[in-house]
């Protein structure tokens, strides 16, 4: 039976690239999660066209009721083995001009959502592990007694050094790294690996709205002299979801063309 991966914000951009790669190259069926139902359905159809199964689930990842419903649907769809928390937004302005509303919105979607989703999914996994332990008649079996599970959280390279105009975004993405390391420590005993990816400057609808002058300035600072593509990020997510990374947890991969060496 195919494994299932949940990918959030998968209606476009990096999330779409991740969903397609996991389906095509790691044999996953995909739960395509997005706040925009139409784009989620369209990506689910693309996945079906390459011979894998997919469902589209409309979900605001910052809303706990939506998240619980989405996680229930995902476990009904199949055996969820991986979660990629990719949905994210920007609401940029300088600290002195930043509204409380924009601070809260970015922190809720980019960070609180990961707490909600990872908690809901891990709770299902732990219940299953407890049944396995009971069947084995052991209180605390070694992690290898349980199925291998993977969480990948999408952070950003700006979490390392800060970025002008992004106090809310940088704080949320730095929080993602802390959350990733903590989940890695808490969930290792259940054979769950939790890692992060820190993209640099990637060509997606999120960056398409930036002025060309700023885009060119960024590209000039990238040693590999180009913007990244969603596939560049999808490649490292694929690695972190594959057996090749089974002994890696609490780690973060920087995929930024050398921008922050």
> Which residues form the catalytic set?
169
Q: Which of 14, 67, 152, 259 binds ligand NAP (CB under 6 A)?
A: 14
Q: Which is nearer to ligand NAP, 12 or 21 (CB)?
A: 12
Q: Which of 11, 78, 235, 257 binds ligand NAP (CB under 6 A)?
A: 11
Q: Which of 6, 13, 151, 259 binds ligand NAP (CB under 6 A)?
A: 13
The interface region with ligand NAP, picked from 3-11, 95-103, 118-126, 184-192 by CB under 6 A, is 3-11
Q: Which of 4, 7, 15, 232 binds ligand NAP (CB under 6 A)?
A: 15
- Quote the least distance from Cβ 163 to ligand NAP, whole Å: 10
- Quote the least distance from Cβ 35 to ligand NAP, whole Å: 4
The interface region with ligand NAP, picked from 48-56, 95-103, 202-210, 246-254 by CB under 6 A, is 202-210
Q: Does 44 bind ligand NAP (CB under 6 A)?
A: no
Q: Does 120 bind ligand NAP (CB under 6 A)?
A: no
Paired tokens of 39 = 């784009």
Residues from 78 through 97 that contact ligand NAP (CB under 6 A): 86-89
**Spatial contact of 193 and 245, defined as CB atoms under 8 Å apart:** yes
Dihedral sign of CA atoms 95, 96, 98, 104 in order: positive
Query: What are the residues binding ligand NAP (CB under 6 A)?
Result: 8-9, 11-15, 34-36, 39, 59-62, 86-89, 109, 154, 156, 199, 201-202, 204-207
């Amino acid at each position: 039976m195919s494994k299932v991966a949940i990918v959030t914000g998968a209606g476009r951009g990096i999330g779409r690239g991740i969903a397609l790669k996991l389906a095509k190259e790691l044999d996953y069926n995909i739960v395509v999660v997005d706040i925009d139902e139409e784009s989620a359905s369209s990506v689910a159809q693309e996945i079906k066209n390459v011979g894998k199964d997919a469902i589209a689930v409309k979900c605001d990842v910052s809303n706990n009721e939506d998240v619980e419903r989405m996680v229930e649907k995902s476990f009904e769809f199949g055996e969820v083995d991986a979660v990629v928390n990719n949905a994210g937004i920007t609401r940029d302005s300088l600290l002195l001009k930043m509204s409380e509303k924009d601070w809260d919105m970015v922190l809720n979607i980019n960070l609180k959502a990961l707490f909600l989703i990872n908690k809901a999914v891990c709770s299902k996994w732990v219940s299953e592990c407890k049944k396995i332990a009971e069947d084995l008649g052991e209180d605390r079996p070694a992690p290898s007694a349980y199925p291998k599970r993977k969480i990948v959280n999408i952070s950003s390279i700006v979490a390392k050094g800060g970025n002008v105009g992004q106090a809310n975004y940088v704080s949320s993405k730095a929080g993602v790294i802390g959350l990733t390391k903590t989940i890695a420590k808490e969930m290792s005993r259940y054979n769950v690996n939790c890692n992060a990816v820190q993209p640099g400057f990637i060509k997606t609808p999120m960056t398409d709205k930036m002025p060309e002058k700023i885009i060119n300035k960024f590209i000039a600072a990238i040693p590999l002299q180009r913007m990244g593509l969603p596939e560049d990020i999808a490649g490292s997510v694929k690695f972190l979801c594959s057996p090749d990374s089974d002994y890696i947890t609490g780690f973060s991969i920087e995929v930024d063309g050398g921008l922050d060496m």
